[in-house]
């Protein structure tokens, strides 16, 4: 932060934003931008613009449409240089930002300098530096989701405390892993509610390719990197492979299909769940209904903990800079005004921890009990990642905010990974009729929002959940499910 920006720390939020926006705009290479004429008649879905715009060379398109592990191979074999890869993705990232406003910091000169160093090292030594040599990782979750969808990055790292890896992954048709806390390093990452240790924030990978997620996990949790010697919260557990035993056996999967007891999913999500169940059963896997017992209560516990523990962290910042509070954030404001700031009483915190621990124990016992029939314990749960495919802009800020389907797994500290199934289709996904009855007022509002035309073509993405510390198994199950979907003509 420069001296002029340091002076803005006590100013109105719009003044601070103006400085940041100018810095970002100045960092955009003009030669990478699409011409103004092209921007006049954009389609609703802009993810194909890089290919349809004619703005990329054949080689650039080949690079940005290649998954991370194949990029690594081509860099090692000197088919592509790190400079070429970085320039292609930088160009795609700039165009993604031009169309969607997805970037916060643009560090292209630094990226090119690093790429030049990597190329020089490879030229002199014949070796690459580490397992991710030559790749770019991207940034934070929401913008990263857009960046990945538009081929501005092959691999992104998001953060997730209530769904912030899985929700943008779902809205953009991506694979995204929220790991168990402690499996991946977090030291140095900034939390939205610093200091709270009730629900843990995690870092995890996002990509259009499942194999890229697996590449990241194996690289980061390798003996070579050993992140546990730098991060006291990171468990010394290297990434394992082939955790489903015996290999190739049929899976036992629970499925939450339609609602969590408080919120019903939109018709395209319900169809995606049904299609996934049908495909798995046709492939010989066992799929049974998993009752979401206490899910609404756990979602409320998670949300209330954020209001209690985060009211001061958020409101003191917004009020300092006269920044408005969105409707979805009003509960933080209410908690703050009711005195949830300063020192949190030990009795209330203790009661919160007791309830959380009870939910965790009850859920573990239910999961373990699935093996009582002698057929083996349930391998995973398939559930919606969100009630929407991708909500219309602004609706979650002003009307319906819902993280029910992701937040419970943060409270339980279970790993979860999204996977794409299909797309919303106005020809088959019909709005629910007058005979349908909502489960809650929020459910009514959410269903009223569904419009066949508006949501047509948006990605239908679900998530796979495993028991605590079974992160490897979650990705392996997602791999099985994705292959089954592919065989049924599904998947994105």
Question: Distance (Å, rounded) from C-alpha 86 to C-alpha 64?
Answer: 10
For residue 228, the tally of other CB atoms under 10 A from its CB is 16
Show Cβ contacts of residue 345 under 8 Å, excluding neighbours closer than 6 positions: none
Nearest residue to 311 via CA among 442, 196, 188:
196
According to the model, what pLDDT value does residue 397 have? Answer: 64
According to the model, what pLDDT value does residue 398 have? Answer: 63
Contact in structure between 465 and 408 (CB atoms under 8 Å)? no
Contact in structure between 156 and 165 (CB atoms under 8 Å)? no
According to the model, what pLDDT value does residue 138 have? Answer: 38
Q: What is the arrangement of strands in the sheet containing 202-207, beginning at the earlier edge strand?
A: 156-160, 202-207, 175-178, 416-423, 459-465, 380-384, 252-255, 286-289
Question: Distance (Å, rounded) from C-alpha 314 to C-alpha 66?
Answer: 40
pLDDT tens, the chain, 492 aa long:
454 555 566 788 888 888 888 999 999 999 999 988 888 888 888 888 888 888 999 999 999 999 888 998 898 889 999 999 999 999 999 999 999 888 888 889 999 999 999 988 888 888 777 655 544 443 335 677 878 888 888 898 999 988 989 999 999 999 999 999 999 999 988 777 777 788 888 999 999 999 999 999 999 999 999 999 999 999 999 999 999 999 999 999 999 989 999 999 999 999 999 999 999 999 999 999 999 999 999 999 988 888 887 777 778 778 888 888 877 777 777 777 776 555 567 788 899 999 999 999 999 999 999 999 999 999 999 999 999 998 877 666 666 778 899 999 999 999 999 999 999 999 999 998 888 999 999 899 899 889 999 889 899 999 999 999 999 999 999 999 999 999 999 987
Where does residue 289 rank: exposed (0-12), middle (13-18), buried (19+ CB within 10 A)?
A: exposed
Indicate the domain borders of the chain: 3-125, 241-492
According to the model, what pLDDT value does residue 278 have? Answer: 97
Neighbouring-strand partners of residue 288: 254
Residue 28 backbone phi and psi in degrees, to 5: -80, 120
Q: DSSP label at 342?
A: S
According to the model, what pLDDT value does residue 130 have? Answer: 63
Residue 255 backbone phi and psi in degrees, to 5: -135, 135
Fold category of 241-492 in CATH: Amidase signature (AS) enzymes (3.90.1300)
SS3 content of the chain, % helix, strand, coil (to 5): 50, 10, 45
According to the model, what pLDDT value does residue 189 have? Answer: 84
Which secondary-structure segment (H or E) carries 442? helix 441-448
Strand bridging mode 416-423 / 380-384? unpaired
According to the model, what pLDDT value does residue 327 have? Answer: 77
Count Cα atoms within 13 angstroms, Cβ side, for 155: 26
Question: Distance (Å, rounded) from C-alpha 203 to C-alpha 213?
Answer: 12
Residue 434 backbone phi and psi in degrees, to 5: -65, -20
> How many residues belong to the chain?
492
């Amino acid at each position: 932060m420069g001296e002029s920006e340091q002076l803005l720390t006590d100013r109105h939020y719009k003044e601070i934003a103006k400085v940041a926006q100018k810095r970002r705009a100045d960092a955009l290479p003009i030669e990478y931008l699409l011409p103004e004429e092209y921007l006049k008649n954009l389609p609703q879905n802009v993810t194909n613009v890089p290919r349809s715009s004619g703005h990329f060379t054949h080689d650039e398109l080949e690079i940005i449409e290649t998954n991370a592990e194949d990029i690594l191979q081509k860099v090692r074999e000197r088919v592509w240089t790190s400079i070429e890869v970085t320039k292609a993705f930088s160009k795609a990232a700039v165009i993604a930002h031009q169309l969607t406003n997805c970037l916060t910091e643009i560090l292209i000169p630094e990226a090119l300098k690093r790429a030049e160093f990597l190329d020089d090292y490879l030229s002199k030594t014949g070796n690459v530096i580490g397992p991710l040599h030559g790749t770019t990782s991207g940034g934070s979750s929401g913008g990263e989701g857009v960046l990945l969808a538009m081929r501005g990055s092959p691999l992104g790292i998001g953060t997730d405390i209530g769904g912030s890896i899985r929700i943008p992954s779902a809205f953009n048709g991506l694979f995204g892993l929220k790991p168990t806390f402690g499996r991946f390093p977090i030291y140095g990452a900034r939390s939205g509610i610093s200091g709270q240790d009730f629900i843990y924030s995690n870092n995890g990978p996002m990509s259009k390719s499942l194999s890229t997620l697996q590449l990241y996990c194996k690289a980061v949790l390798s003996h070579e990197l050993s992140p546990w010697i730098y991060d006291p919260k990171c468990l010394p557990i290297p990434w394992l492979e082939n955790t489903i035993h015996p290999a190739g056996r049929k899976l036992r999967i629970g499925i939450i299909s339609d609602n969590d007891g408080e919120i019903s999913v939109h018709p395209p999500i319900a169809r995606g769940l049904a299609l996934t169940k049908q495909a798995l059963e046709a492939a010989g896997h066992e799929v049974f209904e998993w009752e979401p017992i206490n899910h609404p209560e756990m979602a409320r516990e998670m949300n209330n903990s954020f209001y209690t523990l985060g009211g001061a962290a958020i409101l003191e910042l917004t009020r300092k800079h006269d920044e408005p509070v969105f409707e979805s954030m009003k509960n933080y404001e209410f908690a703050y005004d009711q005195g949830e700031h300063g020192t949190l009483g030990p009795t209330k915190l203790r009661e919160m921890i007791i309830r959380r621990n009870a939910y965790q124990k009850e859920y573990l016992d239910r999961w373990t009990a699935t093996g009582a029939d002698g057929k083996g314990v349930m391998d995973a749960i398939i559930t919606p990642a969100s009630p929407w495919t991708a909500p219309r802009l602004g609706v979650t800020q002003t009307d319906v905010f819902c993280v029910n389907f992701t937040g419970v797994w943060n409270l339980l500290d279970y790993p979860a990974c999204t996977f794409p199934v299909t797309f919303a289709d106005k020809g088959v996904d019909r709005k629910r009729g007058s005979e349908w009855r909502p489960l809650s007022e929020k459910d009514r509002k959410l269903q009223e929002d569904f419009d066949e035309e508006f949501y047509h073509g948006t990605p239908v993405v679900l998530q796979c959940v495993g028991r605590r510390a079974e992160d490897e198994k979650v990705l392996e199950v997602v791999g099985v499910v994705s292959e089954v979907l592919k065989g049924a003509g599904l998947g994105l």
